[in-house]
A and B are shown apart, each in its own frame.
Chain A
């Protein structure tokens, strides 16, 4: 079983829609949860960073962590064509650089 599971999509939505992206994980020790956005042929860009459970909001983006279900989500409100990218979840158990686990990414297209 993979440490992190993420539906690869592709996901296609109309402009203005609310998008929900999700990851599940198996390691209950994970405490740090990140979402990255990656445009085609570019490096990932850190979008959201949360610690432990709860919600975190930043503009149109909301990150949600449910540790009891081992499930994390990223919501995008009022989606824009510029949000079209691959979204990667990442998580870690501690504070060392070698304990990072990435999902495979979900490809999102927002149609104008």
Chain B
């Protein structure tokens, strides 16, 4: 089955620690995205990538970093510089030039203790 996988499903982190969230897709999509979802707010774009080895900041990139070394993979690192990292993180992908049809992974719930 084609789809997007995210791991882990739940993640706990102590303050001051960096943590990396995994996102893998086998849909052969060129574009990949990271969103953050908080209660009472719409999804907010953190980073997106249209091609391997290239990515752009979204609306709330501060305190986050990404890499895109392979087409299938787009890991997100939440650094200690992110002031309020507790949230639900969603990875998505789409075909190039069909950005409006984004397919989402199951999400990772990050809690900072």
Contact = CB atoms under 8 A, between A and B. Distances in A.
A and B bound?
yes
Interface of A: 4, 6, 8, 32, 34, 36, 41-46, 49, 88, 90, 92, 95-98, 100-105
A90 B58 CA distance: 16
Contact of A49 (B4, B41, B100): B100
B90 A95 contact: no
Given A46-B102, A105-B42, 7 more contacts: A6-B42, A49-B100, A92-B99, A96-B99, A98-B58, A102-B42, A102-B44
A106 to B, nearest CB: 12
Interface of B: 4, 6, 31, 33, 40-45, 48, 50, 56, 58, 90, 92, 94, 97, 99-107, 109
30 contacts: A4-B42, A32-B100, A34-B100, A34-B101, A36-B104, A41-B107, A42-B106, A43-B4, A43-B6, A43-B92, A43-B104, A44-B90, A44-B104, A45-B104, A88-B42, A88-B43, A92-B100, A95-B99, A95-B100, A97-B33, A97-B45, A97-B50, A98-B45, A98-B58, A100-B45, A100-B99, A100-B100, A104-B40, A104-B41, A104-B42
Contact of B94 (A41, A44, A97): A97
A100 B102 contact: yes
Contacts of A49: 100-101
Contacts of B50: 97
Contacts of A104: 40-42
A90 B31 CA distance: 18
A37 to B, nearest CB: 11
Contacts of A101: 42
A100 B35 CA distance: 11
A41 B40 contact: no
A103 B42 contact: yes
